[in-house]
Structure 1
Amino acid sequence: MIDPNVQICPVCGVKIEGGDKVIFSAGPVGTRARLWARVCNYAQKPDCINQDHTAIGSVHENDYYKPLP
């Protein structure tokens, strides 16, 4: 059964549940803003489901990936 509250991006395969709960393939659950900051912003593919800036919301400094020192 397909859950209408779950979207799967054809570009990166990430799952978005309930509009803003992003299930990454590894690591903790995130938000659309974190997904955009770490993936969508760089991929820039037309089929990406996370391009609506009103749905993404505010992107904060801690949404971007920071490598460990």
Structure 2
Amino acid sequence: MSIQTCPVCGVKILQIIGGDRVIFSAGTPGTRATLWARVCQYNQKPGCINQNKDAIGEIKSSDRYQSDR
């Protein structure tokens, strides 16, 4: 297992067998697709480590931020 930390947003990505797990500062862990849907697509700053479309995979509606309101 290895850990990458994004210099842009500070999120940690654990590279594990069976797929990467993203550790957010709050809430439950997610996937690279969740990270892309909630942060990376809006941030668009140089140095983001979650830009490889092949590694991100399919983005599902459940990956997007859901407001409780």
TM-score using structure 2 length: 0.91
Corresponding letter in the other structure for 2:3:
V
Aligned pair count reads 66
Kindly report the root-mean-square deviation, in angstroms, between the aligned alpha carbons of the 2 structures.
Answer: 1.2
Partner of 1:17: 14
After superposition, residues 1-69 of structure 1 pair within 5 angstroms as 5-18=2-15, 20-69=20-69
CA shift digits 1:33-67 (9 cap, x unpaired): 00000000100112100000000000001100011
- Mean CA deviation greater in 13-22 or 45-54: 13-22
Identity over aligned residues, as a percent?
Answer: 59
TM-score using structure 1 length: 0.91
Separation in 2, partners of 1:56, 1:45: 17
